[in-house]
Amino acid sequence: MAVVSLREIVDRAFEQRYGVPAINIVNDLTLEAVLAGAVEARSPVIVQTSVKTVKSIGAEVLFAMWTAMTKDIDVPVTLHLDHCPERAVISQCLEIGWNSVLFDASTLPVEENQRQTIEVVAEARRHGAHVEGEIEAIQGVEDGIGVDTETRRQSLDTALGFIRATGVDVFAPSIGNAHGVYSATPALDFQRVSDLVEATGTPIALHGGSGMTDAQFADLIARGCAKVNISTALKIEFMTSSLAFLKKAEAANKWDPPALFADVRSHIVALTTGLAQTFGSAGKAW
């Protein structure tokens, strides 16, 4: 098993009611570590790239890294473009080989969002790729995309109409979740997930996963959240482990970059395996 489509991973998780970690990487080290963690946990994994990461590394270079690191991998993995409002970036990534995209037109009126999402789905299908959609901007700015305040939640009928009209493969609803760091345990609308799943049979993407409790994860996954997004947790782990190592290096006046990389890598691997255990995807590789 190597690189597969988003639907191959998400549909199995949805049917068997486990969640798949969808982890935003920031560089080559975190990409390799997330993949290594998936292999260690024998878990499928969705590797996500923000628009900011695509632009900072370069789409061609980033995809070359992905291709090299997944060449002989023996667990199911897929490459996903996260929260992208830019049609040109979506087209570029689809043409290069990304397996799926989240077209984020949540700041547009629903009608215009729907019109453009239909176009993106058609474009993705030409490349054999899949699409995640959303109609509500989830609170929190991450990598320069998002809003600081909670936006008005659309009606259930509006959400159902969007899913049916666009044919998106995964849908990301606003249920009281937020990007970034929660100041308190979030109050989530669990029933909205159940209502969406029962009416459409569409797998749900849970955004703002960093900071939710294990009990909240278990409940939402059981209701149909098959894709669980994690971004902030990786950034925190990457930067705090780097900082801790560098403080020790400074105290010892010992400067060894490869040792730093190995230490940070171990933290990201452990984060990935822990998420797979929490979401129930550990041991689900095929």
The full 3-state SS of 12-36, as one line of letters, equals HHHHHCCCEEEEECCCHHHHHHHHH
Residue 213 DSSP SS3: coil
132 beta partners: 102, 170
The owner of tokens 């700015």 is 141
182: left (phi over 0), alpha (psi -120 to 50) or beta: beta
Cβ-based burial of 253 (10 A; exposed 0-12, middle 13-18, buried ≥19): exposed
Count CA within 13 A, CB hemisphere, residue 155. Answer: 3
Which whole-number Å values give the CA distances from 145 to 137, 202, 249, 266, in the listed order? 10, 25, 35, 29
Active-site residue set? 82
47 beta partners: 23, 79
CA distance 106 to 102: 11
Count CA within 13 A, CB hemisphere, residue 275. Answer: 33
The owner of tokens 């290096």 is 249
Report whether 73 contacts 42 (CB < 8 A): no
